[in-house]
Structures are given as C-alpha cells and as structure tokens.
Amino acid sequence: MALLCLLMLPAFGVQAQQTTFSEDEVKAAFVLRLATFTSWPSEDQDEGPFLVGVLGDDPVGRTLLELGPQQTVQGRRVEVIPMNGLDRLDDAHVLWVPSAVQRNVSSILDSIRGVPVLTVGDGDEFAYRGGHIRLLRDGNRVRFEVNLEACRESGLTPSSQLLRLGEIIHDSDGG
Amino acid sequence: MKRRRPFPIAWKLTLTILLATTPVLLLGMVVFAARTARELRVDLQRQVIRSAEMVADYTAPELAFGYTEQSTETLSRLQHDPHVLGATLYDREGRVFATYQRPGAELGVWPDPARLPLDAEPGLRTEWQHIDVLTPVTHQGDRLGTLHVLATTAGLQARMVALLASLIPLALVLALVAVVWAVLVQRGVSRPILELSSAARRLAEQGDYSLRVPPRGDRELVDLAEVFNSMVGAVEARQLRSERAEAAQRRTAETLRIVGQIQERALAGHPVTGVASEGLRDLVQLLQLEAAHVLELSDDKGVVLASYPPEASRVGRSWLVPKRSSALRELTERGFWRASREQRAPRFLALGCERADGHIALSLRAGPDLLGVLVLCRGSGAPTQVLERYAASEVAEALALALRHGRLLHENERHTAELERRVAERTAKLAAREAAYRLVITNADGLIVVDGAGAILFTNPAADELLGLEGGEPGQHRLEQTLRSGEVVEFTVTMPDESERRLSARAEAIDWEGEPCVAASIRDVTERRALEEQLLQTQKMAVVGRLAGGIAHDFNNVLMAMMGSVEMACNEEGLTPGVLRYLEGIQASVERGSALTRKLLNFSRRRRADLQDLELASFVEGLRDLFGRLLGEGVRLGLELPERPLWVRADPSDLEQVLINLIANARDAVGPNGQVLLAVELGTGGAWGAIVVRDDGPGIPPEIIPHIFEPFYTTKGIGEGTGLGLAIVYGIVERLGGTVMARNGLDEGAVFTITLPLIEEPVVSDPDIAILPEPEEIQGEGRTVLVVDDDEVIRSLIQEQLRTVGFQVFTAPDGDSALELAASLPQAPELLLTDMRMPGMDGMELVKRLQERQPDLRYLYMTGFGDDIIAAHGSDGPPANLIEKPFRLPTLLAAMEAVMKPPRARRRRQARRTRKPET
C-alpha cells in the first residue's frame, strides 16, 4: 500500500510532498523511477532480479528496503540489497549512495568505475564527483542532476526523456 | 373513358438519357466528395493522432516524475498543430495533470469533464466539428496516464465547402452537356419517326394514299420508312379497288332504289308523267346521261310522255312518232324513227341497239304489248358498261310497269269519276231542293196550324217570332183570333214585352195528322200599317201645304197690287191727312197679310232657306236672352248643353223660329211659375243632333198628338195663336232633313224633340258681308226695261213706279208678246223684268229665247211662289236674279241695280233684301 502511494507520488508532484509524502519517500521512488529511464548494456540483460544496492543506513535506504521488493523495473522483480562493503557493489544495477557516505564517495565510485551500475545519491556535488545522478531538493520539489559523461563511462544510457527533465552537469563544473 | 395519351418518344428518350446520366453524375460527385471528405478526415485524424502521440511520448517522464510545469509546456507545443484546440493530460488515476487551450479557441469549460468519461478507452472519436483523440501515456509497458487532444474539423469543413464550390459548377456543366447530348441523340432518333408519324396522320386524316416518306436517318429508320411506303402503296391499291367496288354497289343500289321508287309511286297512283319524269331524272343523274325520254305508244298515236332535263323536251318533240296504228305497230317491232334537229333526215333507231352517237332505245313492254320506248342520250359513243345496261333495263322494266299501271288506273279513275260525278249531281240536286224547302219554311211568313179549338199545333220560327212564342209543346199555346178557311183577317197580339203587334193571317183548311185544322200564313203588318198612317199624314200635310202655298201666291199678287196702289196713292199730292191715315191703315194691313202669307209659305216649303253651318250648343246659348224674355219673369229656363260641338246645316233664322215657336208653346203650357228645359244632346246612333224642349205643364192630350203639327190646329183660344206655329216647326225641320216628335214626358209635361243630321265640323271662313246699295241713289236715267207679267194690275203698277224714277218701261202680258215686242223695239231693252209663272211660256223660257238674240241680256225674275226659287237655283244655290213678291219699290230698285250693275257689284245675298226683317 505504501509502495502504491509512493508510486503515485510523481503524479502529484509538489502536492505530494506538501501533503502526503516525505522527501525520503519521494527520493526512494525517484531511485526506482530513474532506473526505468536508463538503459543498461545489452549483455547485462539477464532474467534475474533487478538489484538495488543500498549503502549506509539512511531513511531513503530504509524506504527502499521496505518497499523495493514489491516493485518491478524493466519488467524485473526488484531486490534491494544492503551494501556493507565495497566488494559487492558491482552486483547491483542501481546503487543508492546517501549523503551519509559522502566522504567515501570517491572510493565507492572508483570501485565500480566502468561497471554498469547506476549511482544515485543526494550528497553535495555527488554528480560532480563522478556520481551518475544526484537528487536534490529545490524548494518544494525534488530535482536531479545527471552526469552524462559518468553515465557513458559506466556504459549506461539515460533516456533522452530523463535528460530533458534533469540538469546535465559535467565533472569540471563542480567546484 | 378517355385514354391518357402516352408521352412522345422524344420526351421519353430525353428523359431516359437524363435519368441514366444524372444519377451516375450525382453518384460520382457524391462518391468523390465523400471519398475526399473521408481522406481529408483521415489525414486530419492521423495528423492529430501523430501530434497526440508525440506529445504523449514527451509527457511520459513528466508524468512519471510529476513535473506539471514541464507537462504544461510540453502540451503547449500542440499549438504548432493548427487543428488542435486543446489538450488535457490525465494521470493514472484519471486526474487532470496538465492542460492546454489554444488561445482564442472557445472551448467553454476546459477541461470539459463531459467530453471524456473516466473509463474512456484510448482511441479516436470523431464528431461533426471535433476530433477527440485519447492517447495512452506509457513507459516500458507501464501506463502512466492518458492524453486527450481535442481538434477542430473547421479546416476540414472549409476544404469541403471549397471542394463543393468547385464541384457544383462542374456538375452543372456536366448536366448541361448531358442534356444537350440527350437532345441531340433524341433528335437524331425521333426526327425521322416524327416525319413518319406526321405522314401517317395526314394519311389517316386526308386519305392521301399517294403520300410517301423520304427514307433518312439511321438504318432502322430507313427500313421503317421503306416499309411504310410500301404499305401505303398496298393500301392505296386496295383503296382504289374498294372504291370501284363501292361505286358499282352504289350504282346497283341506286338502280334498285329508282326502280323501287318508280314502282312504289306508280302503284300508289301518282300520275304516270310525274313518276316517269322523276325516274328519268334519277336515271340521268345515275348514268350521267345527257338526256332521257319516255315515248308512250298507244293504239293510234305516240306521244312524248316525259323528258329529262325538262328543257330537253324540245328535243323530245323532234322524236318522230308514227301516228297511224299499222305503221306504228310495224315500226315498233323493230325500232322507230328519229328526226334530229341537226339532221333533217329522220334516222332509224333500232330497239336495243347502241348507236355511234350514244343513243339507246329500250322497249317498254307489258307482255306482248309494246307500251312505249325509253330513249337514253349518252352523249358519247363509248360502249355501255354492264352496270349501265343493267340499270337501263331495270328502269325500263319499271317504267313499263308504271305505264301499264297508269293506263289501268286511268281507265279505272275515269269510270269512278263518272260514277262519282253522277252521284254528286244527284245529291246536290236533292240537297238544293231540301235546302230550298227548308229555307222557304224557315224564312217564309209565319206558318201556323190551329185546330178547331184554337190550339196552335205547329209554328215555324217566323211564326214563333211573330206571335212572341218561346218554345213549348205543340198545343200548349192558343190563338185567340178565330181563323176561317179562305179568309184574311187582321188582329193584334200583345208581345211578352207588352208591345202590340198587328198581324195579318190568311187561312186554309188542311188535314193535320188526320184532324181537320186550319193552316195560316201570318205576316207582321205593324210597320206597314204605321207607314200607311204616316204616308197618309204626310200626304195630308203636303196637300195642306200646297193649298196654303197656292193661296199665299194668289194672295201675294193681291197684296202686291194693293201695296203698289197704296204706295202710288200716298205719293199723290193734295191728300188730306184723314185719307193719308186710311191709306197708312191699308198699308199696315197689307204688311200683316204679307207676313201671314210668308208664314204659310214657310210651312209649305215654298220659301228658300239660307243654309249655314251651325254649332247647336253655341247657337242655343246665343239665344238664351231672347228665350228668357220670351218666357217672362216667372218661368225658369234650364239649358243642358253637350260638351262636344254638334254641327248641323240649317237656316239660322228658321231654326230660331222653330225654337221660338216651341218655347212659346211651352210658356203657354206651364203657366206663371213653370219650368222649361232646353237640352242639346247627341241623338241616338251618333249621327244626329237633338234639341229637346221639355216643360212641366199638363202635357198633351193623347188624342191630339197625331194632329198636333197640322196647320190651323190649335188648342189655344181665339186670338192666342195662329195655329201655324207647330206646322211651321214641322215644315222647317222636315226641310232640313230632320224629324220633330211630340210626346208626353214620363212624369208630366210635353216633350218636343227635334233631330237634325250632323255634319263635319266646318272650316271657319270669313262671313260674306252683303253691301246693299242705297235705293235712294238709284235712278233710271232713261234705261229701258221690259216688264212681263200676266197680272195687269201689277204690270201697270210696276210700269208706273219705274217711270217715276226715270226708266223707260215697256210691258207685255206674256212671253210671246214680249218676244214680239222686243223684236220690234229699235233698241234692245237693258233689263227684262219677268214673272216666273205665266200662262204659256214661263219666265225662264222667255229669258232663254231672248238671250238667243241678245246674249248680254240682263234679267230679273219676280215670283210669289217659293218653289220657283228652288226651281231656278236649286235648294241652296245663290238666289241671284230673283225678287219675291210682294215687294216695295226700293227693294225692286236695289235688285235691278244689282243685276244691271257691272259684275263687281253683284252680291250673292242680294235676295235677302226681299225678306222682311221681322220674320
């Protein structure tokens, strides 16, 4: 039920945040939704579950762990895996990198460099640091920044529709 | 019921072509338009769908991430599609996520919840003005929402209108082309047909079988025309044959009709000449002959019975018919002779043969008897046809029958007529006799049969009328008068109206139905007796009048002598006054005597009347004062005058005298306070004017009425009247052609009625005024006068009187001595003064004899006898050259002067001077 409400969130946009949903819930829904607008390399198209890795312990991660398994992405069952180290990061298709782990972000990203794992985080300059997509709060709504270069390095292709909505940033842009 | 005439083929053809082309044209146009509309619509739909799909694709992530602003922006891109009016993006739950409305588009409430039900399936909905497109917004098979795009079809409609605007003129042009084409095709096909049909119609209406149709048009039409022409040819040939046959039949029928008519009329007894004439006329008309004749032959003669045309009878006269029986018989067996006008020589015409000039002779036979010959003049030598011969022989046979029948009929009729004539003669004789008897009995005098007891057994109508019997049975009436056989009796019967009738009866004894009776013829003698009485009265009056006239004449001579003598004596000188007074007494007595004789003459018509046209009413009215004075104070006079004028011719002084006498009588009858009524009225029958004098006196004793007009018959006492008054009335009225009647009134008093014949109202003319010369101025101056009178006294008296005024006077006692005297005189007398009546030669004779010798002899008659005036001048001629005795010297001198003066001084009325003014 909660998932259902979460999935309805985008439809209500700003109003959702004002009335029903918390920022964390919306971010969790965005993680899964962003995955739907991203293409993975074709060799990765196996029949297994769509794996969402969660680093650290934050409200968004918890929401994902709670609601993720009831969702499907690109026709595959979603499985949310808590990641405690860096060694299994490349198993996941999507990796949630909360701001709590911001200080380790470089090592995290380096560990999966060139591996098609979509990294979504909400830490400052996450995208500038090589993360793929950063979720950020802009007033009453949640926006996202896409580092297209990083995406391409990882062999991921965000859809043009996604790119039209998000803000595209480059590594050099960050300060 | 009248059948509706079918439409012409031309119309049908045109209609068919139009019916065939127009739907195709219309269908094509409609299909084209529909297809175009459909394609346009599909194009439009595709375009809209494309736009919708594109926008839906764009909006998928916006829906997914809830980016409403971006979605709105995305939707606004639809403005590039001109058809899109608006769009609405719904989320998964059907809630509105974003909307777009084209600026200026009037969509009302937008998004319109009514336009899109929540459960609407994605797809396309097309309405008349709008297209609704519902496009699902999906991402990776996940339905994120629905996009509704509303597009207008206005552009589509505009294009359709433009298309139709270009299509309709095209359609019209095409329709026109179709019509023209249809007309052209129709014309090409129907024109030859119409020609054919009009030819057929003319054929039917005019029967002109020589008509042909020119073959033209398409092959089938040419075939049709040729077939038509050959058919008409065949019909023409058949028609000709039929007409010939009909003519032959008609001629045969006509022949039979002629024959039948001849026989019928002959048997009906029409005169054979008329029958033959009519038969010939019909035959001539039928065979178109020049003429035809029927010659009738009997035993001893031959005559032309009938000819046609009638003027051809002149030709007929030239037919030579033998007169003698033997020659006739001989000739008629073979033929007969004919003399034509052109060729003097007679020609023999054999029976039954045709001559070169076309004459045919046919015998008319009854059995072996040849009754006549029928001659037909054909005018051409062409051989006869069977039908002509047939007709001629049939008619000849009928004519023969008619001749025979006529002959028999004639015989029969002659016998019948003879019989009828005899019977009629007898009958007429008997009827005339019967009628005569009846007439005699009816119009004879009255015939009655009376039995011995006086009962009337029989009367004829005249007797009924005479006896005043009205119907009744025999024996019902009785005759009072006894009749004896052989006697004539007169008796009086009283009629039913109380009038009396005098009858005369001559009786004979007869045997009436076995009984001895008396038959009498009776006759009305009432009128005869009355006439006899009247005649007697008239004769008596005439005798009295003549007697009175004679006395008056002689008395006049006496008075004349006395008057002259006294006049002369008075002129003597030395007379004492006493003697002069005696002489004047004598003169007055002579005057009275003269007046008396004048009255006598008036009664006895011995005086001439001065007739004038008088209007009775005004005449009587003019005398009213005179009558008033006559009647005196006490007696009232009433006048009743008619409204219309009644004109009579009378002597006014005579009529005045009549009225004075009657009124004087009335005055004496009524006494001091009586009343006299004088009425003028229209008499019975309207041709008479009546003057009625009625008094209220005691009336006239009935016994004196018959004598009342006799002279000297007076009821008055001595000295009251002369007894001449009513006699004078009678004489005057009688002379005027009127009647006078005396009777007693119904109540009392006497009524005298004078009737005078009325005349036409005269044209008013100027009265003739007599200019009398003054006697004193007349002098003899030595002129010679021959006086002839048988009365010695008068003769010498006149001689002496004339001498005193200077005339030279010769006298003679009679005509002969006068003639002698006149002859012996050296100078012819200027005036002859002669008595009218003398012994021997009378005055008129004397004048005549003297005038033989002396044509310019002036003469003057003297007379004392009024008849002489009438004898000399007629009843009302001008009384010239006459003087009435007795006269005085001045009167004589005036008369002489009038005669002796030149004609200018002659006056028609000079004789008036001889009348005394008091009469």
If we measure between CA atoms, which residue out of B485, B487, B495 comes closest to residue B524? Answer: B495
Helix (H) or strand (E) holding B276: helix B272-287
If we measure between CA atoms, which residue out of A83, A90, A93 comes closest to residue A36? Answer: A93
Residues 6+ apart with CB under 8 A from B201: none
B60–A161 CB contact, under 8 Å? yes
How much is the pLDDT for B602? 67
Q: Worst-scoring range by mean pLDDT, A145-149, B731-735, B748-752? A: B731-735
Q: What is the mean pLDDT of residues B659-684?
A: 85
**Pair type for strands B636-640 and B675-682:** parallel
Both tokens of residue B912?
């008036």
CB-based burial of residue B193 (10 Å sphere; 0-12 exposed, 13-18 middle, 19+ buried)?
Answer: middle
Determine the distance in angstroms separating the CA of B156 from the nearest CA of chain A, rounded to an integer.
34
Order of all β-strands in the sheet with B456-459:
B456-459, B446-451, B515-524, B500-512, B488-494
B61–A11 CB contact, under 8 Å? no
What confidence category does residue A105 fall into, taking pLDDT thresholds of 50, 70 and 90?
confident
Q: Worst-scoring range by mean pLDDT, A93-102, B207-216, B331-340, B814-823? A: B331-340
pLDDT above 60 for B452 = yes
B58–A16 CB contact, under 8 Å? no
pLDDT above 50 for A8 = no
* The dihedral formed by the CA atoms of B651, B654, B658 and B664, expressed in degrees to the nearest 10: 140
How much is the pLDDT for B793? 82
What confidence category does residue B867 fall into, taking pLDDT thresholds of 50, 70 and 90?
low
A74–B93 CB contact, under 8 Å? no
Helix (H) or strand (E) holding B255: helix B219-267
Q: What is the mean pLDDT of residues B33-40?
A: 86
Q: Taking an 8 Å Cβ-Cβ cutoff, which residues of chain A contact chain B?
A: 8-14, 16, 30, 33, 36-37, 74-75, 141, 159, 161-162, 164-165
A-chain residues near B139 (CB < 8 A): 36-37
Q: What is the mean pLDDT of residues B240-266?
A: 88
Report d(CA B398, CA B392) in Å as an integer: 10
**Pair type for strands B831-835 and B858-863:** parallel
From the list B57, B68, B93, the residue facing A13 with the nearest CB is B68
From the list A14, A75, A161, the residue facing B61 with the nearest CB is A161
Q: Are B730 and B740 in contact (CB under 8 A)?
A: yes
Angle at A27 between CA A25 and CA A30, to 5 degrees: 115
Q: For residue B862, what are the CA distances in angstroms to A31, A113, B847, B892?
A: 204, 218, 13, 9
Read off φ and ψ for residue B679, nearest 5 degrees.
Answer: -125, 140
pLDDT above 80 for B475 = no
How far does CA B816 lie from the centroid of its chain?
73
Tell me the pLDDT tens digit for each residue of B539-575.
Answer: 777 777 777 777 777 788 888 888 888 888 888 888 8
Report d(CA A60, CA A125) in Å as an integer: 18
pLDDT above 50 for A73 = yes
- Closest residue in A to B58 (Cα–Cα): A161
A-chain residues near B66 (CB < 8 A): 9-14, 16, 141
Both tokens of residue B178?
């179709």
How much is the pLDDT for A18? 41
Q: What is the largest CA-CA distance in chain B?
A: 215
From the list A8, A12, A162, the residue facing B61 with the nearest CB is A162
pLDDT above 50 for A16 = no
* 3-class state of residue B348 by DSSP: strand
Q: What residues are paired with B138 via a beta bridge?
A: B143
The residue to which tokens 């065949």 are assigned: B234
> For residues B747 and A145, which has the higher predicted lDDT (pLDDT)?
A145
B-chain residues near A11 (CB < 8 A): 63, 66, 91-93, 95, 97, 144-145
* 3-class state of residue B86 by DSSP: strand
- Cβ pairs bridging A and B (under 8 Å): 52
From the list A9, A75, A162, the residue facing B66 with the nearest CB is A9
Both tokens of residue B39?
């394609």
Neighbouring C-beta atoms of residue B321, cutoff 10 Å: 19
pLDDT above 80 for B711 = no
What confidence category does residue B745 fall into, taking pLDDT thresholds of 50, 70 and 90?
confident
Q: Are B345 and B323 in contact (CB under 8 A)?
A: no
Q: Are B521 and B848 in contact (CB under 8 A)?
A: no
B63–A11 CB contact, under 8 Å? yes
Tell me the pLDDT tens digit for each residue of B60-107.
Answer: 888 888 888 888 888 888 888 888 888 888 888 778 888 888 888 777
> For residues A142 and B361, which has the higher predicted lDDT (pLDDT)?
A142
How much is the pLDDT for B186? 76
Report d(CA B789, CA B669) in Å as an integer: 47
Determine the distance in angstroms separating the CA of A63 from the nearest CA of chain B, rounded to an integer.
18
How much is the pLDDT for B424? 92
B-chain residues near A33 (CB < 8 A): 64-65
Report d(CA B111, CA B101) in Å as an integer: 9
Determine the distance in angstroms separating the CA of A86 from the nearest CA of chain B, rounded to an integer.
30
Residues 6+ apart with CB under 8 A from B260: none
The secondary structure of B669-714 as a DSSP string is HH-TT-EEEEEEEEPGGGSEEEEEEEE-SS---GGGGGGTTSTT--
Share of residues in chain B with pLDDT > 90 (%): 2
* 3-class state of residue B319 by DSSP: strand
Q: What is the mean pLDDT of chain B?
A: 78
A36–B66 CB contact, under 8 Å? no
- Best mutation site among B55, B59, B65, B77 for testing chain A: the one with the most A CBs within 10 Å? B65
Both tokens of residue B101?
């409305």
How much is the pLDDT for B614? 85
The secondary structure of B30-64 as a DSSP string is HHHHHHHHHHHHHHHHHHHHHHHHHHHHHHHHHHH
Predicted ipTM beyond 0.90:
no
Q: Are B459 and B469 in contact (CB under 8 A)?
A: yes
A-chain residues near B57 (CB < 8 A): 161
Determine the distance in angstroms separating the CA of B26 from the nearest CA of chain A, rounded to an integer.
53
* 3-class state of residue A34 by DSSP: helix
Angle at B90 between CA B89 and CA B93, to 5 degrees: 165
If we measure between CA atoms, which residue out of B810, B805, B801 comes closest to residue B828? Answer: B810
Determine the distance in angstroms separating the CA of B64 from the nearest CA of chain A, rounded to an integer.
5
Read off φ and ψ for residue A141, nearest 5 degrees.
Answer: -130, 170
A12–B67 CB contact, under 8 Å? no
> For residues B147 and B763, which has the higher predicted lDDT (pLDDT)?
B147
B64–A14 CB contact, under 8 Å? no
Q: Are B490 and B502 in contact (CB under 8 A)?
A: yes
How many residues does the structure list for chain A? 175
Identity at B908, one-letter amino acid code:
R
A12–B66 CB contact, under 8 Å? yes
Question: Could you tell me where the DSSP H helices lie in A37-142?
Answer: 59-67, 105-111
From the list B61, B139, B142, the residue facing A165 with the nearest CB is B61
pLDDT above 80 for B345 = no
Both tokens of residue B863?
């007379």
pLDDT above 60 for B30 = yes
Instruction: DSSP letter for B478, please.
Output: B
How much is the pLDDT for B492? 84
Q: Worst-scoring range by mean pLDDT, B338-352, B516-530, B787-801? A: B338-352
pLDDT above 70 for A19 = no
Determine the distance in angstroms separating the CA of B89 from the nearest CA of chain A, rounded to an integer.
11
Q: Taking an 8 Å Cβ-Cβ cutoff, which residues of chain B contact chain A?
A: 57-58, 60-68, 70, 91-93, 95, 97, 139-142, 144-145
Tell me the pLDDT tens digit for each residue of B629-653.
Answer: 888 878 888 888 888 888 888 888 7
Q: What is the mean pLDDT of residues B701-723?
A: 69
How far does CA A174 lie from the centroid of its chain?
20
Q: Are B217 and B188 in contact (CB under 8 A)?
A: yes
pLDDT above 90 for B145 = no
The residue to which tokens 């008309």 are assigned: B285
Tell me the pLDDT tens digit for each residue of B271-318.
Answer: 888 888 888 888 888 888 887 888 777 665 667 778 787 765 554 444
If we measure between CA atoms, which residue out of B403, B365, B159, B433 comes closest to residue B262? Answer: B403
Q: What is the mean pLDDT of residues B765-794?
A: 66
How far does CA B682 lie from the centroid of its chain?
35
What confidence category does residue B116 fall into, taking pLDDT thresholds of 50, 70 and 90?
low
- Closest residue in B to A14 (Cα–Cα): B66
A36–B63 CB contact, under 8 Å? no
Q: Is the peptide bond before B111 cis (omega within 30 degrees of 0)?
A: yes
Report d(CA B728, CA B656) in Å as an integer: 12
3-state secondary structure B453-522: CCEEEEECHHHHHHHCCCCCCCCCCECCCCCCCCCEEEEEEECCCCCEEEEEEEEEEEEECCEEEEEEEE
How much is the pLDDT for B866? 57
> For residues B676 and A170, which has the higher predicted lDDT (pLDDT)?
B676
A-chain residues near B95 (CB < 8 A): 11
Give pTM, 2 decimals.
0.37
Tell me the pLDDT tens digit for each residue of B387-446.
Answer: 777 888 888 888 888 888 888 888 888 899 999 999 999 999 999 898 888 787 777 778
Report d(CA A1, CA A70) in Å as an integer: 10
Q: What residues are paired with B524 via a beta bridge?
A: B503
From the list B65, B95, B141, the residue facing A10 with the nearest CB is B65
Q: Are B493 and B523 in contact (CB under 8 A)?
A: no
Residues 6+ apart with CB under 8 A from B484: B507, B518
Determine the distance in angstroms separating the CA of A161 from the nearest CA of chain B, rounded to an integer.
6
How much is the pLDDT for B770? 39
- Best mutation site among A143, A164, A167 for testing chain B: the one with the most B CBs within 10 Å? A164
pLDDT above 50 for B908 = no
Question: Could you tell me where the DSSP H helices lie in B363-503?
Answer: 386-443, 461-467
A-chain residues near B138 (CB < 8 A): none
3-state secondary structure B124-162: EEECCCEEEEEEEEEECCEEEEEEEEEEECHHHHHHHHH
Q: Is the peptide bond before B642 cis (omega within 30 degrees of 0)?
A: no
If we measure between CA atoms, which residue out of A21, A159, A50 comes closest to residue B66? Answer: A21
Determine the distance in angstroms separating the CA of A135 from the nearest CA of chain B, rounded to an integer.
12
How much is the pLDDT for B339? 44
- Closest residue in B to A11 (Cα–Cα): B66
Report d(CA B253, CA B272) in Å as an integer: 23
What's the alpha-carbon Rg for chain A, to the nearest Å? 15
From the list A74, A75, A165, the residue facing B65 with the nearest CB is A165
- Closest residue in B to A144 (Cα–Cα): B65
A-chain residues near B97 (CB < 8 A): 11
From the list B58, B66, B141, the residue facing A13 with the nearest CB is B66
Both tokens of residue B897?
């002067």
B91–A11 CB contact, under 8 Å? yes
Both tokens of residue B910?
């000079």
A8–B92 CB contact, under 8 Å? yes
Report d(CA B838, CA B815) in Å as an integer: 8
Helix (H) or strand (E) holding A153: helix A148-153
